[in-house]
Chain A
Amino acid sequence: MHDGMSESIPSPLQATHLRHGGKLVPFAGFSMPVQFSGITAEHQAVRQQVGVFDISHMGQFIVSGVGAAEALESLLTNRVGKLQPGGGQYTLMLNEAGGVIDDLILYQLAPDRYFLVVNASMIAEDFAWMRKHLPAGVNLEDHSAGFAGMAIQGPQAVALYDKLCATHLPLPPRNGIGIFPTTDGDCIVCRTGYTGEDGFEFFCPVVAAENWWEKILGLGAVPCGLGARDTLRLESGFPLNGNDLSPTRTPLEAGLGVFVDLSKTFIGQPILTHQKDHGLPSKLCGLKMLGKGPPLRAHYPISNEEIPLGETCSGGMSPTLGYGIALAYLPADAANLGAQYSVEIRGTRYPVEIVKKSFYKRPATASNS
């Protein structure tokens, strides 16, 4: 473990994490906390109160210049033109075969100025791909090393925001973005997250990271690690690139069609249009363990009687639901809600049922913001 760590880039919050009992692990080339008090307790804190995650490993790009919108339109699946300044959208960047290079959030800072938050493991690849495909007049800047990031998530995140920095900037609307200046540099607030709860993501200059983190903990947020981040996003049915998204599966197969606008032209679009017209080869499904069994995990084979159907791509024990859940690509004709198959774990077959990918949905509450 120590060898892997020495090659990893430390989070700007590493010393702070060690003081707060964080257990660091190598992840996507970075050394990040996997847990503090315990994955289940952190998971419940986010579902019931508010938690904070270090997301400094994630990448931030700025794309700007005349023609930036049109250029992004041809690189991303969602309709960039739907955005207003201050707005954001989940979107995907595809290869020529329609497979996923990365999923990301695109925010419009101003006309022809966009902020992109990309996966840590894909920073270099995304940058190279975009540089290759953006026209010369459009600027692409990688700001990943300059920003620390924190995701504040949970039903009390909005109340926390009010005490943290509402005097600098009103909390942006859902999916929105806002910037406020500080003596250390700009801070960026995005009303987004990947836990299925309300909340916001906060990007600040690296030098100010520790101050903000301590302030956020002081306002009652429970420090949370990658372990809880994974169980939370899986319960909500959100795909993780590298597990559930891949260069050989399209976003339509991943069930992300709502983020794909086939009325425009973009890299990979002809393949997606063909799939839409002629049917999908596979579909990403939610699986639920029936009865008592081990947690579902990645790469377990799935079969129907003796017929192999595929394998799990993400899996875990759902802390909220108390049973094993997983995502898996299955042949489209086998991907029916309610169908029962078996998953093989260490030589034993366990029954599973296809359920909706949003295993957990946060209860509707009266808005308090």
Chain B
Amino acid sequence: MPDSSSLLFAASHEWITRDSDIATIGISDHAQSELGEVVYLELPAVGTQVKAGERLAVIESVKAASDIYAPVDGEVVESNAAAASDTSLVNTSPYDQGWLCKIRVAEPSQLDSLLSESAYLAQLS
């Protein structure tokens, strides 16, 4: 599993990491554990424009359907087809193979308001 301490987190449990203007988004280990076994992923089509705080994807566990929110504005450039077909990746590898989407970040300054891993973990308790 990659080093999650380099990721940024939203209080709504998404993580994001940026490589130039492309950011990868997933959900936190805490979130996957709370959701339980993921059985279905509804990921956005490439080209979808998303706004920070709006629904980006839906994760369905055995228990419930949960909205996943975009941490920043942008355009979807890729969705993780491997995770959509093997949804257990979200549980077993939330920070690596279980990523959800990549977006082209429209407003890089929006990343500044996100939380470090330690700040995210601190506000969970």
Contacts and interface: CB of A to CB of B under 8 A. Distances in A.
Interface of A: 34-35, 38-40, 227, 231, 293-295, 297, 316-317, 319, 346
Contacts of B62: 39-40, 227, 231, 295, 316-317, 319
Contact of B60 (A35, A39, A40, A294): A294
A39 B91 CA distance: 14
Contacts of A34: 63
A330 to B, nearest CB: 23
22 contacts: A35-B36, A39-B36, A39-B37, A39-B62, A40-B37, A227-B62, A227-B63, A293-B40, A294-B40, A294-B60, A294-B65, A295-B39, A295-B40, A295-B60, A295-B62, A295-B65, A297-B65, A316-B62, A317-B39, A317-B40, A317-B60, A346-B58
B107 interface: no
B86 interface: no
Nearest to B61: A39
A187 to B, nearest CB: 33
Residues of B in contact with A, size category: 10 to 19
B42 interface: yes
Contacts, number: 36
Given A297-B64, A317-B39, 8 more contacts: A34-B63, A39-B36, A39-B63, A227-B36, A294-B42, A295-B62, A317-B40, A317-B62
Please list the 10 inter-chain residue pairs (A to B) with the smallest Cβ-Cβ separation, ordered nearest first.
A39-B62, A294-B40, A317-B39, A40-B37, A294-B60, A295-B60, A227-B63, A38-B37, A295-B40, A39-B36
Interface of B: 36-37, 39-40, 42, 58, 60, 62-65
Most buried by B among A231, A295, A319: A295
Nearest to A228: B62
A38 B65 contact: no
Contacts of B39: 295, 317
A346 to B, nearest CB: 7
A316 B65 CA distance: 10
A317 B59 CA distance: 13
Contacts of B64: 297
A40 B42 CA distance: 21
A158 B63 CA distance: 29
B37 to A, nearest CB: 5
Contacts of B58: 294, 346
Contacts of A35: 36, 63
A348 to B, nearest CB: 9
A40 B36 CA distance: 9
A313 B39 CA distance: 20
A319 B42 CA distance: 19
Contacts of A293: 40
A319 B39 CA distance: 10
A346 B60 CA distance: 12
A175 B63 CA distance: 30
A297 B62 CA distance: 10
